[in-house]
């Protein structure tokens, strides 16, 4: 049974430390806007965007989350049913990179996807507009997907690619939400990853319409926390 | 006699109004009774018009709205006709009445007959019914919402047609004495006559949308009846209709006001043609109805509501300017940008407009009120109707001024009244926003000052606090100068100040260049107040080292600093504010869960079905006390009410339920999943009306309190092994007696969730805690242990 005509909703969760630019990336991608005065996200929110992937119209639901670890354990209800998880750090802040691992683990624990090994992640290093590297950055998607990182980039780029490879070849992008660098490209890959994940989930299900419901009715572990 | 054994029994003649004793009738502010015992002429009536005494649909009381004519009025009118009334003879012999179905007794059949007769023409046959008790004031009599007011005493009608957010259209009657009656809700889908009239209208008008039936509603009829007998004029406020207005009224509120003229010009092109068909419906109302139709029509063609559609609608010449303006305003734009699905979009849109018109109405009425006060007119105060309904309430809601505040203290600055009295005033009225009273009063309600101190003691205490602040600030300052500060200190804190309210005047300026050229905020300058904010946050870090920066801190500090404009004072206020707010987010969400289960089990079950009973969608509101949800000035007003702990130290949870209740119908009808609920609630930000929210929160609190009392009473009786009717009835009547309110309807038994109804219901400790006024504050050690109180 083909699922071509079904309306697909792809759920994408964006995680990372406070202030790395999660909200900015999302707004740049969806609304083509950047503001220096986004308030710190409290709780969670999402934006939706329709995208065409190889003639298929899909709706991406991008979940923006609070970057403070302190608040994470409360709001994990929306992790469930995710099709892709984006890990964001600030290329100028090494601490925000160091925490990526724990964000990833936290996600896997809370979302508990069917197959954690193959669950798609994408890593984004944001704020490449800052500092002296400003003008050097423009790495093609293909190079990134192959894990080839131009060594002119900041040190963290190398570390990031190492990290990504160690996690099973996670796609990696360096972006500037402020100057709209690489943002489209990153999200296109995110969308493809998410769609692939969604379709993989559909294999085990002959009734496409119930796919979303299955996800929604995922056992409530938190139990009215 | 007062204890009715079968409150839900069928309407019987013995329970009717006409058997009330003279004493009981005397409780009404009676003007005149029909002298002949034969009754009055029922001209028009409409069935299924409800009073909603509580937010729970279960408590709704069905009845009839009616226009009746008194026979004796024309000859024997001893009372001088009201000077402002245009047609005193006619209008004083007419009564506008609402009668509960249960009180009609034998007359019920007559009411039904008149309801179903063709109301398009004046009645040919006379139908006599028993005279209703005539009143001019809405006395809060026991359970009796029935009233009949002479049309000559009706000052205005507030007409609110149905919309998607407001499922039922409503009418509120305001009297010349300044009183107003409870809103009457027209349940059009249950009302045979309205259904018939709709069908008829659809046939006659060839309106392609007529089948949708949105155009005509029960409230239109009431205006039509009245127009047969008296002048009905739309006021400057589009949803208010003046009844037989005097010349002064017209000047104050009527179509001659400058605001109105402008409005009329704006509307003239689009709305005049449809005016007639619409029974004189005011512009905004009609506009909304039509716009809704247009949207629905477009929606029937496309399943997903695209932005293009919205734009097309916005550009269409058929759309009146008001709606076009609404579509172009930034908030609506945001909605368009982020729409999720058509039905949520529509629901939100309708609610947004409802809020907007509510707000506009409030503003306009306040202006009118100001005018009245200036002219010292005898017309009486103009009420904000859906907000509260008596002159006493308006008095209660007056903000506390510096003058009133000073009056609470003697010359030594010792409080001369009880703290509770002061708290009550601030809780209901708030503090004046201009005269600086907040700077003093906040220190008390936040607990920086003791209520029993005198000015000298307070002065000394503040001096010591200033010293302490300077000491704390000096500590990190020194480290920074000497270069000992940790990278985190610099990295993390430096830009948090930019993530606050730059739109507020004191934080707006950019007269100081950004100290760090590498910062993403380098292009936006800073100012002295922002730098102060940064210093205070860093100082708080020094004061409470284990906590570090917590998101929401700047939200909780900014309003306090903006009011105090003194960093040391603001710091210690903030310290109080912050400690209480962080206490246990998890516990708060759980308490909210219990509370909603108790006060609105139906809604709770719906949220449960929508996988939303974790109440996470209230996280932001609870964490920063609605800072992001209300306009700046409203936040100040809300916070000072919350700080008083006048009813409960967790009153913000009742505010949450009040918000939930307001949007209950939309949530239950349109929102099926967690993401939809979250999105909808998030987008309420900056669209909500505070005064009505506060009123709703208070009545929810009172209801909660009564429910707990009722449950406690029931438990203190030895309960029989098999549940019988009698003990239940007695406990219910006890509730009414103890709380001194009307409620034989107290939902002690009724609110029981349908599932597990047979289990014994207990009030959880969390819920019981809501009745406490004691603030639970976390000490620093606890914060350290529980991660700012958000842990388990």
Q: Tell me the pLDDT band of B537, cut-offs 50, 70 and 90.
A: confident
**DSSP E strand stretches across B403-544:** none
Classify each residue of B703-740 as buried b or exposed e, where b means 16 or more C-beta atoms within 10 Å of its C-beta.
bbebbbbbbebbeeeeeeeeeeeeeebebbbbbbeebe
Q: Which residues of chain B are within 8 Å of residue A30 when distances are taken between CB atoms? A: 337-338
Minimal CA separation from A49 to chain B, in Å = 8
Separation CA B383–CA B174 (nearest Å): 8
Minimal CA separation from A223 to chain B, in Å = 8
> Among partner residues A36, A70, A217, which is closest to B521 by beta-carbon distance?
A36
The residue in chain B having the minimum alpha-carbon distance to the alpha carbon of residue A132 is B518
Q: Which of A192-206, B93-107, B543-557, B711-725 has the lowest mean pLDDT?
A: B711-725
A225 with B550: Cβ contact below 8 A: no
Separation CA A82–CA A12 (nearest Å): 6
Separation CA B670–CA B342 (nearest Å): 10
Return the structure tokens found at A150.
Answer: 């131009």
Q: What was the pLDDT predicted at B15? A: 39
* CB of B613 closer than 8 Å to CB of B605: no
Q: For an interface test with A, which of B620, B627, B679 has the most A Cβ atoms less than 10 Å from its Cβ?
A: B620
Q: What was the pLDDT predicted at B149? A: 86
Quote the pTM value: 0.57
Separation CA B44–CA B222 (nearest Å): 9
Minimal CA separation from A205 to chain B, in Å = 21
Q: Which of B293-302, B427-436, B451-460 has the lowest mean pLDDT?
A: B293-302
Q: For an interface test with B, which of A18, A30, A71, A73 has the most B Cβ atoms less than 10 Å from its Cβ?
A: A71
The more confident residue out of A43 and B295 is A43
* CB of B442 closer than 8 Å to CB of B576: no
B550 with A93: Cβ contact below 8 A: no
B682 with A45: Cβ contact below 8 A: yes
Q: What was the pLDDT predicted at B774? A: 80
* CB of B419 closer than 8 Å to CB of B217: no
The residue in chain B having the minimum alpha-carbon distance to the alpha carbon of residue A74 is B586
The residue in chain A having the minimum alpha-carbon distance to the alpha carbon of residue B784 is A70
pLDDT value at B693 more than 90: yes
| pLDDT mean over B53-76 | 74
B551 with A220: Cβ contact below 8 A: no
Separation CA A71–CA A75 (nearest Å): 7
> Among partner residues B337, B614, B682, which is closest to A31 by beta-carbon distance?
B337
* CB of B254 closer than 8 Å to CB of B233: yes
* CB of B255 closer than 8 Å to CB of B241: no
Task: Convert the pLDDT of each residue in B744-755 to its tens digit.
Answer: 333 434 444 444
Closest listed residue to residue A42, CA positions, set A76, A66, A7: A66
| pLDDT mean over B217-235 | 84
Residues paired with residue B349 on neighbouring β-strands, in sequence order: none
- ipTM score here? 0.78
B502 vs A: CB within 8 A: yes
How far from B576 is each of B132, B449, B531, B628, B696, CA to CA, in Å? 56, 11, 21, 20, 27
Q: For an interface test with B, which of A39, A81, A175 has the most B Cβ atoms less than 10 Å from its Cβ?
A: A39
> Among partner residues A41, A74, A178, which is closest to B616 by beta-carbon distance?
A74
Closest listed residue to residue B339, CA positions, set A35, A25, A31, A78: A31
Whole-angstrom distance between the N-terminal and C-terminal Cα of chain A? Answer: 39
Q: What was the pLDDT predicted at B489? A: 52
Q: What was the pLDDT predicted at B485? A: 58
B623 vs A: CB within 8 A: yes
B613 with A224: Cβ contact below 8 A: yes
B617 with A222: Cβ contact below 8 A: no
Residue B308: exposed, middle, or buried by beta-carbon count in 10 A (0-12, 13-18, 19+)?
exposed
Q: What was the pLDDT predicted at B163? A: 63
B617 with A19: Cβ contact below 8 A: no
Pairing between β-strand A84-90 and β-strand A121-126 as defined by DSSP bridges = parallel
Quick check: is A122 in a domain? yes
Separation CA B677–CA B618 (nearest Å): 10
The more confident residue out of A151 and B55 is B55
Residues paired with residue B384 on neighbouring β-strands, in sequence order: none
Quick check: is A136 in a domain? no
Q: Which residues of chain B are within 8 Å of residue A6 when distances are taken between CB atoms? A: none
* CB of B736 closer than 8 Å to CB of B723: no
Residue linked to tokens 């709770």: B604
User: Which residues of chain A are at the B interface, by a Cβ-Cβ cutoff of 8 Å?
Assistant: 18-19, 30-31, 36-48, 61, 66-68, 70-71, 73-75, 77-78, 92-93, 95, 127, 129-131, 178, 216-217, 220, 222, 224-225
Q: What was the pLDDT predicted at B711? A: 81
Quick check: is A140 in a domain? no
Return the structure tokens found at B453.
Answer: 């101190």
| pLDDT mean over A114-141 | 70
B496 with A225: Cβ contact below 8 A: no
Quick check: is A174 in a domain? yes
B611 with A71: Cβ contact below 8 A: no
Q: What was the pLDDT predicted at A112? A: 85
Pairing between β-strand A56-65 and β-strand A8-16 as defined by DSSP bridges = parallel
Pairing between β-strand B154-160 and β-strand B169-175 as defined by DSSP bridges = antiparallel
> Among partner residues B498, B593, B791, which is closest to A224 by beta-carbon distance?
B593
Quick check: is A72 in a domain? yes
The more confident residue out of B280 and B762 is B762
- Name B649's Cβ contacts closer than 8 Å, sequence gap at least 6: B580, B772, B773, B774, B775, B776
Residue linked to tokens 């007269």: B511
Q: What was the pLDDT predicted at B540? A: 87
How many Cβ atoms are within 10 Å of B541's Cβ, its own excluded?
Answer: 20
Q: What was the pLDDT predicted at B229? A: 85
Residues paired with residue B100 on neighbouring β-strands, in sequence order: B63
B788 with A70: Cβ contact below 8 A: yes
Minimal CA separation from B764 to chain A, in Å = 15
pLDDT value at A111 more than 90: no
Which secondary-structure segment (H or E) carries A46? strand A44-53
Minimal CA separation from B473 to chain A, in Å = 25
B611 with A74: Cβ contact below 8 A: no
- The DSSP annotation for B61-103 comes to EEEEEEEEE-STTTT---SPPPTT-SSHHHHHHEEEEEEEGGG
Whole-angstrom distance between the N-terminal and C-terminal Cα of chain B? Answer: 52
Separation CA B594–CA B208 (nearest Å): 48
Q: What was the pLDDT predicted at B545? A: 80
pLDDT value at B709 more than 70: yes
Q: What was the pLDDT predicted at B261? A: 47
> Among partner residues A36, A39, A67, which is closest to B520 by beta-carbon distance?
A36
pLDDT value at B413 more than 90: yes
Q: What was the pLDDT predicted at A145? A: 35
Q: What was the pLDDT predicted at A86? A: 96
Minimal CA separation from A146 to chain B, in Å = 31
Return the structure tokens found at B232.
Answer: 């009905």
> Among partner residues A41, A45, A70, which is closest to B790 by beta-carbon distance?
A70
Closest listed residue to residue B290, CA positions, set B207, B367, B363: B207
Q: For an interface test with A, which of B336, B348, B493, B499 has the most A Cβ atoms less than 10 Å from its Cβ?
A: B499
What SS3 class is residue A11?
strand
Q: Which of A126-140, B238-252, B337-351 has the lowest mean pLDDT?
A: B337-351
Q: Tell me the pLDDT band of B415, cut-offs 50, 70 and 90.
A: very high
Q: Which stretch, B48-52, B246-250, B456-460, B495-499, has highest mean pLDDT?
A: B456-460
- The DSSP annotation for B301-323 comes to H-SS--HHHHHHHHH-TTS-HHH
Quick check: is A211 in a domain? no
B409 vs A: CB within 8 A: no
Task: Convert the pLDDT of each residue in B99-151 to its tens digit.
Answer: 888 888 888 888 888 888 876 676 777 788 888 776 656 554 434 678 888 88
- Name B232's Cβ contacts closer than 8 Å, sequence gap at least 6: B223, B226, B241, B242, B243, B244, B280
Quick check: is A30 in a domain? yes
Residue A45: exposed, middle, or buried by beta-carbon count in 10 A (0-12, 13-18, 19+)?
buried
Q: What was the pLDDT predicted at B609? A: 93
Q: What was the pLDDT predicted at A221? A: 39
Q: What was the pLDDT predicted at A122? A: 94
- Name A89's Cβ contacts closer than 8 Å, sequence gap at least 6: A16, A17, A20, A96, A97, A99, A100, A123, A124, A125, A126, A156, A160
Task: Convert the pLDDT of each residue in B577-608 to its tens digit.
Answer: 776 655 577 888 889 999 998 888 899 999 99
Q: What was the pLDDT predicted at B580? A: 61
* CB of B629 closer than 8 Å to CB of B621: yes
Q: Which residues of chain A are within 8 Å of residue B305 when distances are taken between CB atoms? A: none
Quick check: is A27 in a domain? yes
Residue B294: exposed, middle, or buried by beta-carbon count in 10 A (0-12, 13-18, 19+)?
middle
Q: What was the pLDDT predicted at B345? A: 53
Q: How many domains does chain A have?
A: 1
CATH number at residue A23: 3.40.50.300
pLDDT value at A207 more than 70: no
Q: Which residues of chain A are within 8 Å of residue B614 when distances are taken between CB atoms? A: 77, 222, 224-225
pLDDT value at B698 more than 90: yes
The more confident residue out of B269 and B627 is B627
Q: Which of residues 541-600 of B touch A (CB under 8 A)?
A: 550-552, 554-555, 585-586, 589-590, 593
| pLDDT mean over B359-385 | 37
Q: What was the pLDDT predicted at B264? A: 45
A225 with B590: Cβ contact below 8 A: yes
The residue range of the domain holding A36 is 8-128+156-199
* Percent of chain A whose predicted confidence (pLDDT) is above 70: 69
Q: Which of residues 428-457 of B touch A (CB under 8 A)?
A: none
Return the structure tokens found at B407.
Answer: 């009056």
pLDDT value at B346 more than 90: no
| CA-only gyration radius of chain A, Å | 17
pLDDT value at B60 more than 90: no
| pLDDT mean over B523-542 | 79
* CB of B173 closer than 8 Å to CB of B222: no
Q: Which residues of chain A are within 8 Å of residue B674 when distances are taken between CB atoms? A: 77-78, 216
Return the structure tokens found at B91.
Answer: 């209008």
- Name B154's Cβ contacts closer than 8 Å, sequence gap at least 6: B96, B173, B174, B175, B176, B243, B244
| pLDDT mean over B655-662 | 94
Task: Convert the pLDDT of each residue in B310-338 to its tens digit.
Answer: 555 555 555 555 555 555 554 444 444 43
Closest listed residue to residue B766, CA positions, set B537, B589, B629, B569: B589
The more confident residue out of B678 and B289 is B678
The more confident residue out of B784 and A146 is B784
The more confident residue out of A30 and B90 is A30
- Name B267's Cβ contacts closer than 8 Å, sequence gap at least 6: B283, B320, B321, B322
């Amino acid at each position: 049974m083909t699922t071509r005509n079904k309306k697909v909703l792809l759920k994408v969760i964006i995680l990372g430390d406070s202030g790395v630019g999660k909200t900015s990336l999302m707004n740049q991608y969806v609304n083509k806007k950047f503001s220096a005065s986004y308030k710190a996200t409290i709780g969670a929110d999402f934006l939706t965007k329709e995208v065409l992937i190889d003639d298929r119209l899909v709706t991406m639901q991008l979940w923006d989350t609070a970057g403070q670890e302190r608040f994470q354990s409360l709001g994990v209800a929306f992790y469930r049913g995710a099709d892709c998880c984006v890990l964001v750090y600030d290329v100028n802040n090494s601490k925000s990179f160091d925490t990526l691992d724990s964000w990833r683990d936290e996600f896997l624990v809370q979302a508990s996807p069917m197959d954690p090994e193959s669950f798609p992640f994408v890593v984004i290093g944001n704020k490449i507009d800052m500092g002296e590297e400003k003008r050097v950055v423009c790495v093609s998607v293909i190079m990134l997907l192959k894990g080839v990182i131009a060594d002119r980039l900041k040190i963290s780029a190398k570390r990031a690619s190492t990290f990504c490879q160690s996690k099973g070849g996670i796609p990696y992008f360096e972006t500037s939400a402020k100057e709209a660098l690489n943002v489209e490209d990153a999200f296109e890959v995110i969308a493809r990853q998410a769609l692939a994940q969604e379709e993989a989930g559909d294999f085990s299900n002959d009734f496409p319409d119930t796919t979303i419901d299955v996800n929604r009715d995922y056992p409530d572990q938190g139990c009215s926390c | 006699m007062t204890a009715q054994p079968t409150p839900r029994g069928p309407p019987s003649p013995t329970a009717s109004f006409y058997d009330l004793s003279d004493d009981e009738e005397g409780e009404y502010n009676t003007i005149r009774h029909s002298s002949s015992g034969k009754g009055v002429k029922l001209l028009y009536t409409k069935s299924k018009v409800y009073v909603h005494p509580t937010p729970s649909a279960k408590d709704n009381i069905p009845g009839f709205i009616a226009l009746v004519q008194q026979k004796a009025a024309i000859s024997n009118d001893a009372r001088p006709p009201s000077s402002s009334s245009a047609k005193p003879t006619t209008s004083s012999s007419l009564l506008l009445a609402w009668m509960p179905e249960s009180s009609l007794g034998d007359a019920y059949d007559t009411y039904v007959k008149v309801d179903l007769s063709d109301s398009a023409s004046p009645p040919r046959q006379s139908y006599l019914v028993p005279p209703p008790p005539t009143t001019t004031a809405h006395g809060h009599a026991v359970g009796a919402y029935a009233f009949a007011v002479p049309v000559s005493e009706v000052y205005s009608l507030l007409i609110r047609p149905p919309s998607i957010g407001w499922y039922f259209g409503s009418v509120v009657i305001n009297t010349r004495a300044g009183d107003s009656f409870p809103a009457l809700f027209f349940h059009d889908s249950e009302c045979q006559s309205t259904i018939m009239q709709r069908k008829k209208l659809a046939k006659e008008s060839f309106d392609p949308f007529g089948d949708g039936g949105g155009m005509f509603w029960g409230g239109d009829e009431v205006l039509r009846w009245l127009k047969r007998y008296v002048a009905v004029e739309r006021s400057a406020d589009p949803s208010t209709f003046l009844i037989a207005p005097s010349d002064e009224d017209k000047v104050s509120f009527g179509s001659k006001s400058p605001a109105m003229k402008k409005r009329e010009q704006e509307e003239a092109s689009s709305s005049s043609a449809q005016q007639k068909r619409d029974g004189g419906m005011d512009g905004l109302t009609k506009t909304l109805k039509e716009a809704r139709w247009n949207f629905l029509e477009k929606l029937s063609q496309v399943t997903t509501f695209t932005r293009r559609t919205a734009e097309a609608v916005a550009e269409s010449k058929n759309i009146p300017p008001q709606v076009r303006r609404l579509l172009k305003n930034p908030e609506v734009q945001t909605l368009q940008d982020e729409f999720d699905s058509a039905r949520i979009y529509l629901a939100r849109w309708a609610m947004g407009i409802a809020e907007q018109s509510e707000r506009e109405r409030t503003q306009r009425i306040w202006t009118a009120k100001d005018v009245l006060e200036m002219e010292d007119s005898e017309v009486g105060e103009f009420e904000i109707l859906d907000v509260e309904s008596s002159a006493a309430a308006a008095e209660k809601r007056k903000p506390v001024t510096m003058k009133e505040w000073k009056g609470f203290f003697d010359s030594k600055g010792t409080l001369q009244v009880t703290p509770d009295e002061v708290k009550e005033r601030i809780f209901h009225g708030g503090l004046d926003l201009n005269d600086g009273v907040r700077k003093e009063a906040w220190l008390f309600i936040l607990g920086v000052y003791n209520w029993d101190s005198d000015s000298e003691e307070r002065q000394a205490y503040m001096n010591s606090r200033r010293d302490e602040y300077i000491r704390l600030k000096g500590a990190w300052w020194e480290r920074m100068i000497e270069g000992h500060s940790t990278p985190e200190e610099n990295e993390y804190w430096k830009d948090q100040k930019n993530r606050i309210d730059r739109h507020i005047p004191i934080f707006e300026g950019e007269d100081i260049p950004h100290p760090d050229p590498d910062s993403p905020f380098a292009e936006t300058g800073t100012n002295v107040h922002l730098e102060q904010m940064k210093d205070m946050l860093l100082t708080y870090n020094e004061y409470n080292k284990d906590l570090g920066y917590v998101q929401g801190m700047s939200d909780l500090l900014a309003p306090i600093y903006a009011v105090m404009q003194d960093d040391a004072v603001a710091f210690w206020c903030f310290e109080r504010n912050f400690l209480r707010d962080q206490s246990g987010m998890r516990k708060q969400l759980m308490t909210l869960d219990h509370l909603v289960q108790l006060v609105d089990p139906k809604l709770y079950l719906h949220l449960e079905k929508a996988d939303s009973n974790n109440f996470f969608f209230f996280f932001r509101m609870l964490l920063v006390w609605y800072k992001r949800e209300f306009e700046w000035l409203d936040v100040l007003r809300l916070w000072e009410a919350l700080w008083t702990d006048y009813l409960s130290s967790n009153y913000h949870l009742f505010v949450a339920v009040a918000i939930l209740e307001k949007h209950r119908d939309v949530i239950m009808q349109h929102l099926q999943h967690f993401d939809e609920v979250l999105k909808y609630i998030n987008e309420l930000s900056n669209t909500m009306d505070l005064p009505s929210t506060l009123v709703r929160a208070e009545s929810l609190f009172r209801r909660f309190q009564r429910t707990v009392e009722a449950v406690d009473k029931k438990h203190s009786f030895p309960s029989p092994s098999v549940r019988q009717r009698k003990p239940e009835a007695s406990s219910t009547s006890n509730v009414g007696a103890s709380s001194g309110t009307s409620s034989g309807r107290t939902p002690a038994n009724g609110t029981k969730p349908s599932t597990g109804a047979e289990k014994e219901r207990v009030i959880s400790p969390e819920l019981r805690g809501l009745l406490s006024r004691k603030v639970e504050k976390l000490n620093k050690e606890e914060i350290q242990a529980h991660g700012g109180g958000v842990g388990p």
